């Protein structure tokens, strides 16, 4: 009887698990428009493609699918906010995604920061991950920034390292910063709670996967910082009137399922 009961439970769960796995293939493309509130509008509106949390161990979105969806819009800049992978065998797989993104020919380049899972790679393997990113046209930022000119104005791209593993150095990231539009890339959005003294115009992040299993509520995220307890786990939010965005990410951790969340690609229009 016990075996029969277990089989009935498994059979009952199968449609539910099938749907949960299918959700990982159903990528949504969001468009967010953000206006500058503390400075004049940019002469040129920027269109930023933001991808986060590929988690190549569990991803159902192919490089070709990303390219197909992104090709429909102009891409000025690509922002990748960490958690690419955590197993060295998937480093070559990442190159396929980066090669697809290069085909979008972003006018102002492709930039990346690292997440907590990336740092599970040690020494030579982490260096290989970083090298693959850079060899495929990506500028990696670890508590660093770069300043570029956009139609005669300065765009500061500030990469703050992973907050959850205590690698963030906000002051170091801002050291020597020029006056301009401050775009922050980071993995764990909780860092915004420590940025009262550091101005940013917009911040892009990931880390929470939108809960991944968001049913009935993502109780498992409580341990992941104060923002969760403030009900800030995905989408556009403000802290001290400064806007930041939390991507639901493209891949999954643990099981390759999503409940109450979907993989996400986001276009951010900055004006």
Over the stretch 29-58, which tens digit does the pLDDT of each residue have?
999 999 876 666 567 789 999 999 999 999
Closest CA to 66 of 99, 33, 91, 93: 99
Helices and strands, number each (H, E), in the chain? 6, 12
* Domain locations along the chain: 1-270
Give tens-digit pLDDT for 73-123. 899 999 999 999 999 999 999 999 999 999 999 999 999 999 999 999 999
Rounded to the nearest 10 degrees, what angle do helices 123-135 and 91-102 cross at? 20
What superfamily would CATH give domain 1-270? Metallo-dependent phosphatases (3.60.21.10)
Average pLDDT over residues 159-181: 97
E runs forming strands in the chain: 28-34, 46-51, 77-81, 110-113, 138-140, 144-150, 153-160, 181-186, 202-205, 235-239, 242-246, 264-270
């Amino acid at each position: 009887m016990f075996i029969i009961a277990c089989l009935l439970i498994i059979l009952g769960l199968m449609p539910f698990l099938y749907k949960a796995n299918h959700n990982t293939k159903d990528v949504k493309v969001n468009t967010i428009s953000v206006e500058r509130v503390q400075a004049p509008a940019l002469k040129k509106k920027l269109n930023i493609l933001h991808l986060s949390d590929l988690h190549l161990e569990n991803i159902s979105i192919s490089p070709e699918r990303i390219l197909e969806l992104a090709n429909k819009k102009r891409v000025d800049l690509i922002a990748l906010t960490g958690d690419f992978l955590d197993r060295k065998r998937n480093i070559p797989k990442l190159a396929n995604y980066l090669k697809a993104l290069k085909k979008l020919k972003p006018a102002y380049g492709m930039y990346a920061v690292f997440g907590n899972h990336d740092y599970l790679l040690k020494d030579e393997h982490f260096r290989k991950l970083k090298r693959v990113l850079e060899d495929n046209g990506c500028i990696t930022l670890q508590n660093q920034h770069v300043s570029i000119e956009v139609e005669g104005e300065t765009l500061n791209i500030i990469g703050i390292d992973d907050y959850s593993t205590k690698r963030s150095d906000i002051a170091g990231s801002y050291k020597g910063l020029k006056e301009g539009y401050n775009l922050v890339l980071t993995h764990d959005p909780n860092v915004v709670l420590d940025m009262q003294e550091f101005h940013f115009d917009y911040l892009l992040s990931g880390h929470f996967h939108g809960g991944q299993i968001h049913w009935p509520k993502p109780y498992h995220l409580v341990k992941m910082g104060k923002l969760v307890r403030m009900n800030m786990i995905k989408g556009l939010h403000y802290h001290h009137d400064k806007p930041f965005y939390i991507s639901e990410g493209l891949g999954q951790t643990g099981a390759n399922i999503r409940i109450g969340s979907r993989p996400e690609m986001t276009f951010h229009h900055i004006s």
